[in-house]
Structure 1
C-alpha cells in the first residue's frame, strides 16, 4: 500500500448540499434545494464553483421563465454568492456557475491558494 492510498478525501471538491435561499431578480426569495461544489483551478489561478438549483421553475410559477444567462443569488448557512444560470438539465433543475465568492466553506487552505 502506497502513501497515497488514504481515505481522507484530499481530492474531493468543496461543497454544500441542502436548503438555500435563492433570489432571482425582483422575485420573492425562495428556500430551495441546492447542490454546490467548487475547487481551485490551477490554470486560471482562481477558485471556481458551480452547482444545481432544484425546483426553481415550480416555485416561481408558470408565468416566470428562467433562461440560461439569468443571474441569481444563493444564500446558504455558510455564506452568500452570486451565480448565473448556465443550463437547464433533463429533470428541470437549473445548472449554475458562480460569479462571486463561494457561498459555502472551503476545505482548509494549507498551501495559501484559496
Structure 2
C-alpha cells in the first residue's frame, strides 16, 4: 500500500518479467486501484533499469507477463524514462496481493486497544 494514497494497493521488490521467450529477474515498483467508472482494476508501475531488457526492446512497447511472490499477470511495457526504467501496466487481476477487506474497529474495541 502507498503511504501517499492509502486506498491504493501495491508491491515493491523482486519479480520475474517474461517478454516473448526471455525471462528477466527485475525489481519493480507497482501500484494499483479499482476504477469504479468502468469496473476494472488497473495496476501500473516501473521496472528498474535492466540492460538485457533495454537491448531486447530498444524503447519499443511489448506485451509481457509479470510474476511476483503474490501472483502473475499479463501487462504491457512502454515508454522508458530517462533512467531506462520501463513503465508497465495492466488491467484486471494484478501480479500482487490486493487488500479485499477493510480493517475496522468499533468504539469498544478502540477503547480496549
Residues 25 and 72 in structure 1, CA contact (< 8 A), matched pair in contact too: yes
TM-score of the pair, normalised by structure 2:
0.76
Stretch of structure 1 that moved more, 75-84 or 11-20: 11-20
1:79 corresponds to which of 68, 71, 78: 71
1:54 matches 2:48: yes
Q: Deviations over 1:16-65 (max 9, x none)?
A: 000001111012x1211001110011111111111111123x03463x22
- Give the corresponding residue for 2:93: 101
Give how far 1:66 is off. 4.4
Where is the helix percentage greater, Structure 1 or Structure 2? 2
CA RMSD across the alignment: 2.3
Pairing 1:16-31 to 2, within 5 Å after superposition? 16-27=11-22, 29-31=23-25
Give the 3 Å change call, closer, same or farther, for CA 10–100 of structure 1 in structure 2: closer
Give how far 1:86 is off. 2.7
Give the Cα–Cα distance (whole angstroms) in 2 for the partners of residues 44 and 88 of structure 1: 27
- Give the corresponding residue for 2:82: 90
